[in-house]
Structures are given as C-alpha cells and as structure tokens.
C-alpha cells in the first residue's frame, strides 16, 4: 500500500466514520436519558434513505402511512388515559400536544406527499419532508413500546428493543420490498488535490455531520430542554424532584435520535445502495463507537466512530472478506478494558 492509496482510504474512512459518529451520539443520548439501547435506530437509517429515494422517484413512501397509523395508536392511548375509567383529571395542554404530534402532523405529511410531486421538489425540501416523516416514528415507538416499561431493568428494555427491531425490519420489507435503491447525490462537484479526489458529496456528508454535532452541543448547553435532558441523564430521580418531566425528556431524546437516524440515512443514500435491512449493520457500527465512549461520553463516542470508519476502510482494502469481523472485534478489547477499569474503581470504593 503506497501513500496515495492510504490517503484515499483515510478519506473514505473519515466520510463513513462521520455518519457512524452521528449514530453513536444518538445511541449515547437515548441510553443516558432512558437506559434503552436503541437497536432500531438502524431501521430509521434505512427508512430515511428509502423514503427520500421514493420521493425522488415520484413515488409515495409507505412510511407516511406508518406515521399515521402509529400516531393514531398513540393518540388513542392518550385519550384513554385522560378520559377512560379511573383516569385522573384531564390535562388539556398534554392532550393538545398529542393532537398536534399524532394527528395533525401525520395528516399534514399525508396531504403533502399525496398533493405535491416529490420528484419535482427541490432537494432541500425532499430532505426536510423525509425527516418530517421518519424522525417522529422514533417518538411513537418510544410511546408504544418503551414508555410502558420505562422503569424495568436494562435487560428487559434490551429485549423490547430487539423485538421492536424485528418488527420494524419486517415492516421495512413490507413497505419497500427487497430491492435496493440509491438516492440522488447532493453535489456532482469534484476536486483533485494531489492523490486525493475530493467529491462534493463526501464533503457534504462530513460538513453536515459536523453541523449537526455543533447544533446538538449548542442545544444541550444553551437551551432549557437541552439542560433538562442533561439533568435527566445525570440523575433521573433528582431531575424528577426538580420538576423535570422525565417522560417528556425520554420522548425528546427519542425524537432527536430519530432525527439523527433519518438524517444519517439521507446522507448515506447517495453513497451506497440501501436495502430494507441495511440499517442494522450500519447501526451496529455506530453502536461500537458508542461502546468505545462507554455509552456516556459524546466526544469519545464520536471519535471512536471515526476510528471504526477508518478501520473498516483499511480492512476492506487488505482483507475485504473479514472487514466486518475486524470492525466488530474492536469491541472486545474495549469491553475488557472497561471491565478491568470498573473493577478497579469498585475496589477503591470498598477500601
């Protein structure tokens, strides 16, 4: 391997690692706030890529109907909680928010999808529409599957997460079929810098990932909802005692994770052919980065994800048949190191 090949592989690794970094940040966020290892985030990646591809092909993505059906189910639960037998005093504010999020929003998405020709819309409008359809699915999944068992153990939440993954995987096959698709590239520009051939698409992926991470940093540090999420992640009981609604924090965390997952799908759609089940492997690689960060540290998780992208890129050149094995084997020494480190901290506390 000469220097030019090494630089090209590094470029590819950083580009894919930027997408993995977004996913790892979303996984860390959800786990810190709700203790859920959100395996179905990979399906949201595939849904995002397949939804925007359907819009660009002039088709009506079936995810908009999934949004409407899940929204109706969530709204029915909210109605039962507020007006059913044994219900507490109705909370008009909460019910109004439920109407907007689970009835008005899906109906508006249906009207836009069936009223406007998706393939004639500008690219930025197609991206926004795909995000508006796919991202709320994460919150609806949280309301239906995770919120009823929010106080269960991490193991129970993991089992529920695996079950939701298989349900969304089957729905993906039903909605999109087994054929893979690619969406349109953001840019066709290309620059030659020495041995490197920089593409507008690759630079757009990296730039978009950096912008999203910067926006999340500002959100957590400068806004009240962001600070509420940080407080919930640090101490759920303390946050509840301070008047923070932990349930709403969980919904917001899942919405952000859904937004990150859908946007990651939009980013990778022009780069690789996406199938209904492609998101699982992509999400697992983001999970490896999150594990490197201990499911706690956002910067370490992002850096670990870039490392995963680089390892995958070089492994695909030197041992393409074993690249997945090499990437996922990275998790073994990390877990071993964290196991010994936590054991050392426990011994110090006992002393």
Distance CA 102, CA 108 (A): 11
CA dihedral 114, 122, 264, 244 (to 10 degrees): -70
Q: Tell me, rounded to whole angstroms, the distance of Cα 86 from its chain centroid.
A: 37
CA dihedral 338, 339, 340, 345 (to 10 degrees): 80
Summarised one tens digit per residue, pLDDT across range 47-57 is 999 999 999 88
CB of 177 closer than 8 Å to CB of 46: no
Summarised one tens digit per residue, pLDDT across range 57-66 is 888 999 999 9
CA distances from 240 to 81, 97, 105, 341 (A): 21, 21, 29, 31
Q: pLDDT class for 173, splitting at 50, 70, 90?
A: very high
pLDDT given for residue 240 in this prediction = 79
pLDDT given for residue 348 in this prediction = 44
pLDDT given for residue 87 in this prediction = 60
Alpha-carbon Rg of the chain, whole angstroms? Answer: 21
Whether 13 has a pLDDT exceeding 90, the answer reads: no
Q: Tell me which residue of 291, 328, 279, 284 sits closest to 42, measured CA to CA.
A: 279
Task: For residue 122, give its domain range.
Answer: 3-350
Report, as an integer, the average pLDDT of 141-166. 91
Match 């919120």 to its residue by tokens: 147
- Structure-block tokens of residue 285: 């690689």
Report, as an integer, the average pLDDT of 211-216. 84
CA atoms within 13 A on the CB side of 204: 18
Distance CA 146, CA 34 (A): 9
pLDDT given for residue 345 in this prediction = 47
CB of 131 closer than 8 Å to CB of 267: no
CA atoms within 13 A on the CB side of 134: 35
Q: At what angle do helices 123-141 and 41-56 cross, to 10 degrees?
A: 150
Which range scores top for mean pLDDT: 29-33, 50-54, 85-89?
A: 50-54
Summarised one tens digit per residue, pLDDT across range 226-240 is 888 878 877 777 877
Distance CA 193, CA 289 (A): 30
Q: pLDDT class for 347, splitting at 50, 70, 90?
A: very low
pLDDT given for residue 230 in this prediction = 79
Report, as an integer, the average pLDDT of 181-199. 76
Q: pLDDT class for 88, splitting at 50, 70, 90?
A: low
Count of the separate structural domains present in the chain? 1
% of the chain beyond a pLDDT of 70? 91
Q: Phi-psi bin for 111: left (phi > 0), alpha (psi -120 to 50), beta?
A: alpha
Q: Which long-range contacts (CB under 8 A, 24 or more apart) does 3-10 make?
A: 3/195, 4/194, 4/195, 5/317, 7/194, 7/195, 7/196, 8/195, 8/196, 8/197, 9/310, 9/313, 9/314, 9/317, 10/310, 10/313
Q: pLDDT class for 296, splitting at 50, 70, 90?
A: confident
pLDDT given for residue 194 in this prediction = 67
Distance CA 242, CA 163 (A): 34
Report, as an integer, the average pLDDT of 28-44. 89
The whole model's pTM is what?
0.88
pLDDT given for residue 302 in this prediction = 86
Whether 67 has a pLDDT exceeding 90, the answer reads: yes
DSSP 164: H
Whether 343 has a pLDDT exceeding 60, the answer reads: no
pLDDT given for residue 107 in this prediction = 94
Match 């680089």 to its residue by tokens: 310
């Amino acid at each position: 391997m000469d220097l030019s090949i090494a630089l090209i592989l590094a470029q590819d690794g950083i580009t894919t690692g930027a997408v993995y970094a977004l996913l790892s940040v979303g996984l860390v966020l959800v786990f810190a706030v709700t203790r859920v290892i959100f395996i179905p985030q990979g399906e949201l990646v595939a849904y995002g890529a397949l939804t925007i591809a359907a819009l660009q092909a002039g088709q009506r993505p079936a995810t908009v109907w999934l949004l409407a059906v899940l929204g109706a189910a969530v709204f029915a639960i909210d109605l039962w909680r507020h007006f059913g037998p044994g219900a507490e005093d109705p909370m008009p504010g909460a019910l109004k928010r439920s109407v907007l999020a689970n009835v008005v929003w899906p109906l508006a998405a249906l009207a836009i999808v069936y009223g406007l020709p998706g393939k004639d819309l500008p690219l930025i409008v197609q991206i926004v529409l795909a995000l508006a359809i796919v991202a709320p699915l994460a919150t609806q999944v949280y309301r239906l599957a995770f919120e009823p068992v929010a106080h269960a153990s991490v193991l129970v939440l993991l089992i529920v997460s695996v079950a939701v993954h298989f349900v969304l995987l089957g729905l993906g096959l039903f909605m999109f079929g087994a054929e893979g698709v690619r969406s349109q590239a953001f840019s066709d520009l290309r620059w030659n810098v020495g041995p490197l051939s920089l593409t507008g698409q690759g630079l757009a992926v990296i730039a978009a990932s950096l912008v999203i991470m910067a926006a999340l940093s500002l959100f957590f540090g400068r806004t009240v909802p962001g600070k509420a999420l940080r407080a919930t992640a640090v101490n759920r009981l303390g946050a509840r005692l301070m008047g923070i609604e932990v349930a709403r924090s969980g919904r917001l965390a899942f919405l952000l994770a859904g937004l990150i997952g859908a946007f990651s799908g939009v980013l990778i759609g022009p780069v690789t052919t996406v199938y209904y089940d492609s998101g699982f492997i992509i999400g697992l690689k983001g999970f490896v980065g999150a594990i490197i960060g201990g499911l706690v540290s956002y910067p370490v998780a992002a850096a670990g994800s870039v490392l995963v992208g680089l390892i995958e890129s070089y492994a695909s050149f030197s041992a393409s048949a074993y690249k997945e094995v090499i990437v996922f084997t990275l998790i073994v020494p990390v877990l071993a190191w964290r196991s010994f480190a936590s054991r050392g901290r426990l011994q110090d506390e006992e002393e």
